[in-house]
Amino acid sequence: MGFRGGTIMPKISQLFFKSATIFFIIGVIMGLHMGISGDHTPFPAHAHLNLLGWVSSAIFAIYYALNPAKAVGRLPMWQFAIFTLGLVVMIPALYFMALGNAALEPLVGIGSFIVFAGVLLFAAVVFSN
Ligand code: HEM
Ligand code: HEM
């Protein structure tokens, strides 16, 4: 008799936990690299990768798991796709900008606004009926 009970976590929670975990691994490697090399210059990329990529994505995952009714429909998938795309644009650009490539600043801005769009979509999910 195997375990058959429990709730299946919504697909969107699985996705957000997967992206969060990948961001976490890269964020921690970045932190270790800064610590070992003694060069802390790219810390803003590390901070935002961990706080937006790991912490915020994991909070989204938990929200959808606690509110499975909000996990249905297309909006959560769009929220995942846009928020995650924003980070994929923003964080590498921020990393190399912090290391001295000032030309990347507009790309950091574009990525930040895509992240912001993902945050607004999350608000749309939270405040929807
Ligand atoms: C083994 C894991 C980690 C290592 C080795 C590490 C290492 C570092 C280092 C070397 C700095 C630069 C400090 C400075 O020069 O001011 C830093 C900054 C920072 N880290 Fe990490 N980190 C790790 C994990 C995390 C995690 C999991 C988070 C968030 C959830 C985080 C958030 C931050 C933040 C916000 C800053 C900027 C702090 C400031 O404003 O000065 N780090 N980290
Ligand atoms: C698209 C969203 C975001 C943008 C555009 C943004 C932008 C910024 C900027 C411009 C700074 C100052 C950097 C400096 O002076 O070197 C900063 C610092 C910081 N932000 Fe954010 N932020 C965002 C989201 C967040 C979130 C969600 C968190 C926490 C959950 C956070 C935590 C921090 C912390 C701890 C610092 C100080 C450490 C650092 O300078 O990297 N940020 N952020």
Ligand 2 proximal residues by C-beta, below 6 Å: 43-44, 47-48, 51-52, 55-56, 112, 115-116
Whole-angstrom CA distances from 78 to 21, 30, 50, 125 are 19, 28, 22, 11
Report percent pLDDT > 70 for the chain: 95
Residue 116 CB neighbour total at 10 angstroms: 13
- By most ligand atoms within 8 Å of CB, the mutation choice from 30, 46, 48, 55 for ligand 2 is 48
pLDDT of residue 129: 82
Q: How far is the CA of 1 from the centre of ligand 2 (A)?
A: 50
**Distance (Å) from CA 39 to ligand 1 centroid:** 12
Residue appearing with tokens 């846009």 = 82
**Is the pLDDT confidence value at 1 over 70?**
no
User: Can you tell me the mean pLDDT for 48-61?
Assistant: 98
pLDDT digits (tens, 9 = 90+) for 65-124: 999 999 999 999 999 999 999 999 999 999 999 999 999 999 999 999 999 999 999 999
Report d(CA 114, CA 91) in Å as an integer.
12
Higher pLDDT, 50 or 6: 50
Minimum CA distance residue for ligand 2 atom 10? 44
**In this structure, which amino acid lies at residue 99?**
L
- Look at residue 6 in the predicted model and tell me its pLDDT: 60
> Would you state the structure tokens that stand for residue 49, as one six-digit string?
């990768």
Greater confidence (2 vs 31) lies with 31
Phi-psi region of 116 (alpha: psi -120 to 50; beta: other; left: phi over 0): alpha
